[in-house]
Amino acid sequence: MSNHRKRLKASDVFRESKHVFGKKVSFEEAFPEIEDIVISVEESGRKINKWNYKHTYTKQNFPGEYIDCSNPLCYNGGFSIGKILRDMVKEKLTELETLELCQGYEGSPKGKKYYKKCLNQFKIRVSIKYKKTAK
């Protein structure tokens, strides 16, 4: 990066924050009912020519609570994949396609100055296989 300092992304802000009502846990602890999962994310926006910034995540390479925005000017950018998964598990959904907007904003490196909302967006596809429950 040039002489600009790295702007913290959503996962950085989450990692550095103190949580009053819960603790950070592993994927297995957070989602014991999930046997397997595939998450496909395509990002569009600043510094991305088209829907070509793709990532695939599984249990083995789960990104954590947030998937970060790739806009280099964005502070606290990304979206909560954890919230999406918690909602899916609550409803026992096995498939979901959705669109999320970046939660961040373009601003100064430490996030003190707000220039404008980040306009990056994410196409998300989630496929969950649940563990069989004993009867």
Give pLDDT tens digits for 34-49.
Answer: 999 999 999 988 766 5
- Using alpha carbons, list the distances in angstroms from residue 37 to 31, 32, 100: 11, 12, 19
pLDDT digit string, tens, across residues 71-115: 888 888 999 999 999 999 999 999 999 999 999 999 877 767 888
pTM to 2 decimals? 0.80
Q: What region does 117 belong to: left with phi over 0, alpha with psi -120 to 50, or beta?
A: beta
